[in-house]
Chains A and B, each alone.
Chain A
Amino acid sequence: DAGVIQSPRHEVTEMGQEVTLRCKPISGHNSLFWYRQTMMRGLELLIYFNNNVPIDDSGMPEDRFSAKMPNASFSTLKIQPSEPRDSAVYFCASTLQASSYNEQFFGPGTRLTVL
């Protein structure tokens, strides 16, 4: 299996620009998570999908952030407009069934730099 795939791996953009991060979960996994990792705040859960439906988005920082999962094999996290404080590594993770307490499989992350 290819594992969780994220693109791009690195993104450098200017403040005010729209940024779209992409994730392909492991085939057969029905739960997907977006995390943000910074030195100051560690790993933060942004949003959780189960069977393509957003279950909890309480971790999304503000309205500038949005996430979609149009089908079982693709999810996006969009920041519009981006700000320098959004600079972080964004991880996507998937698991077979979150309610079964399985471990999560993480993608390689997208390192976002907003200038």
Chain B
Amino acid sequence: AQKVTQAQTEISVVEKEDVTLDCVYETRDTTYYLFWYKQPPSGELVFLIRRNSFDEQNEISGRYSWNFQKSTSSFNFTITASQVVDSAVYFCALLNTGGFKTIFGAGTRLFVKA
């Protein structure tokens, strides 16, 4: 079975704090893709990153970084020095090779207070 679990329903931090959003996935496939999307208050989901299962290198993009660990089936997302504009719902998602159906987690709502 394919499943994405985002155990944190809501997280609240104060601006400039670092915050990590957890994502744990389940799949029987050996090749797959993982994604993170951001849904700001405006509502539209925005793609942040894609990672394939063969690439376990961590990635950094500005204040955003992602930690992919196949051994623990996790693909965690860290925001460094959070800002109010980071307030949004963040979704982790899984797509198996050969498939088209992206499985989304339930999302984590992040509140960043000034």
Residues of A at under 8 Å CB distance from B? 31, 42-43, 45, 48, 50, 55-56, 89, 91, 93, 98-99, 101-109, 111
Contact = CB atoms under 8 A, between A and B. Distances in A.
Interface string B41-85: 011111100101000000000000000000000000000000000
A95 B6 CA distance: 24
A115 to B, nearest CB: 21
Contacts of A93: 45
Interface string B85-99: 000000100010110
A89 B39 CA distance: 13
Interface residues of B, number: 22
A104 B43 contact: no
A22 B100 CA distance: 22
Interface of B: 33, 35, 37, 42-47, 50, 52, 91, 95, 97-98, 100-102, 104-107
A106 B44 contact: yes
Contacts, number: 46
Contacts of B97: 101
B67 to A, nearest CB: 19
Contact of A91 (B33, B45, B47, B50): B45
B57 to A, nearest CB: 18
A51 to B, nearest CB: 12
Given A43-B91, A98-B100, A108-B42, 16 more contacts: A42-B105, A42-B106, A43-B104, A43-B107, A45-B102, A56-B100, A93-B45, A101-B33, A101-B97, A102-B50, A103-B47, A104-B47, A106-B45, A106-B46, A107-B44, A109-B44
